[in-house]
Amino acid sequence: MNDLKALLVEGIHPVAVDVLASSGIEVDRESRALSGEELVSRLAGVQVLGLRSGTHVTAEVLAQAPDLRVIGAFCIGTNQIDLQAATERGIAVFNAPFSNTRSVVELAIAEIIALTRRLTVQDDAMHAGQWRKSAKGSHELRGRRLGIVGYGKIGSQLSVLAEALGMHVRFFDTADRLALGNARRCATLEELLGDSDVVSLHVDGRPGNSGMFGDAQFGLMPRGAVFLNLSRGFLVDHSALRERIVSGHLAGAAVDVFPNEPAGPGDPFESGLRGLPNVILTPHVGGSTEEAQQDIGDFVAGKLLGYLRAGATGLSVNLPEVQLPRLDGATRLLLLHRNQPGALAHLAGVLADGGLNVEQQLLTTSGTVGYAVTDVRGTVGDGVVDQLRGLPETIRLDVLTG
Ligand SMILES: NC(=O)c1ccc[n+]([C@@H]2O[C@H](COP(=O)([O-])OP(=O)(O)OC[C@H]3O[C@@H](n4cnc5c(N)ncnc54)[C@H](O)[C@@H]3O)[C@@H](O)[C@H]2O)c1
């Protein structure tokens, strides 16, 4: 891969540079986000782009980046990339959907303990010079009931750690999820809310979840319960949460995500939750740890290499998933095509006419595109490559030798 160049922007963790460079890829680094013409000019001759959330890869940028083959989003979200335009140009996109989940879980555990022992209230009083030694309102976690809403990657890990601390875990998820350990599945959200001392929200941000937690839901929680949201801000009605805390119905809350988050560091933060006792507010840092950043760097760089070396699209955000071990000495053809009848027959016809024997092949389709990975024995001449690129349904063809 000595002829490949990568551009990594937005201060991506150095581990990603090491992974790519050790495979012979020339890496150009930039600490800032890039945009518009500057991004386009830096992409000349670049096959691999790595970015975080601040660099916007629009359809216009992609149209002016003919060398680009793969984009790595070294973060969770991929809204900053025009995925449809990337797919239409045959550019694979990868992200890191798992890498920071442990960090979120650990913050949730810390906050459950802090809320249940009223740590921030004690801390505030001490800093104000007041010694208020009292056990009132402070509880052990052991034996307390934790209700987890959304039992996915984060919710299920939280379940395991909370149970190790002696909590009785119950969860509610709209999808079928295996209960881990002694966790109990609730049939409805209402059942969970009525039976939990701590409710922690870990659902995804699908549109139907907007505003799913309001006064009715808080009203079902037992008096003295606490609430955590480290998922998405727009899921929760913060005025209703404020009212329930001010009235004393809820004993506290921890909120990491907000409906309108400030654009950047130093921007003012407004919220009706400011200044309330036993309410912990954090600036969307649930997944922000140095370990998570390192893991993201390692994970996404590995995905980029897997695609460049073998055309592997496992966990790609936009391309159908194909993972096929490479055969020694075979040439691999990566054909991304429009999902139309006859695409595979056309591919087979060109290979047969070129005297090439197919040794292994895997095709997956998804929506409007199909992705066929084919290993052939023998020399793949320019004529065959040109014919495959000229097929009516071809979006992109890449050839990996050796
Ligand atoms: N605070 C942070 O820094 C941070 C970091 C990473 C992820 N997150 C957020 O955490 C949340 C969970 O992430 P994840 O990786 O565990 O997601 P996930 O997709 O693995 O799990 C989400 C679960 O919620 C369930 N679900 C969806 N809607 C539901 C509903 N209305 N009721 C009950 N269950 C429902 C899904 O079936 C799924 O099991 C996401 O919103 C994500 O954006 C926040």
Contacts of 248 (CB under 8 A, 6+ apart): 223
Q: Which atom of ligand 1 is nearest to the CA of 212?
A: 31
Encode pLDDT of 75-114 as tens digits: 988 989 999 999 999 999 999 999 999 999 999 999 999 9
Distance CA 325, CA 167 (A): 44
DSSP 284: S
Among 178, 180, 231, the mutation site with the greatest number of ligand 1 atoms within 8 A of its Cβ is 231
Sole residue written with tokens 């008096």: 223
Single out the residue of 215, 177, 183, 178 nearest to residue 196, CA to CA: 183
168/353 Cα distance (integer angstroms): 66
Compute the distance from residue 201 Cα to the ligand 1 centre, in Å: 8
Pocket (CB within 6 angstroms of ligand 1): 76, 100-101, 104, 149-155, 172-175, 177, 202-206, 209, 212, 230-232, 256-257, 284, 286-287
Pocket test residue of 107, 153, 154, 160 for ligand 1, highest count of atoms within 8 A of CB: 154
- pLDDT per position as a tens digit, 361-384: 999 999 999 999 999 998 899 999
Q: What is the mean pLDDT of the chain?
A: 96
* pLDDT tens track for 21-61: 999 999 999 999 999 999 999 999 999 999 998 899 999 99
For the full predicted model, state whether its pTM sits above 0.95. Answer: no
Q: Would you please indicate which residues are annotated as catalytic (active-site) residues?
A: 232, 261, 284
Per the CB < 8 A criterion, the answer to whether 143 and 168 are in contact is yes
Q: What is the structure's pLDDT at 177?
A: 97
At residue 258, the pLDDT reads: 96
Is pLDDT at 355 greater than 80 in this prediction?
yes
Per-residue pLDDT at 266: 83
Angle at 292 between CA 2 and CA 262, to 5 degrees: 110
Query: What is the Å distance from ligand 1's center to 151 Cα?
Result: 8
For residue 265, pLDDT over 80 is answered with no
Using CA atoms, how far apart are residues 347 and 393, in angstroms rounded to an integer?
10
Q: Residue 1: what pLDDT?
A: 66
Residue nearest to atom 38 of ligand 1 (CA): 152
Counting other chains too, the contacts that 76-85 makes at CB distance below 8 Å and 24 or more residues apart are 76/100, 76/287, 77/53, 78/317, 79/53, 80/51, 80/53, 80/54, 80/55, 80/56, 81/51, 81/56, 81/57, 82/57, 82/58, 83/317, 83/318, 84/59, 85/58, 85/59
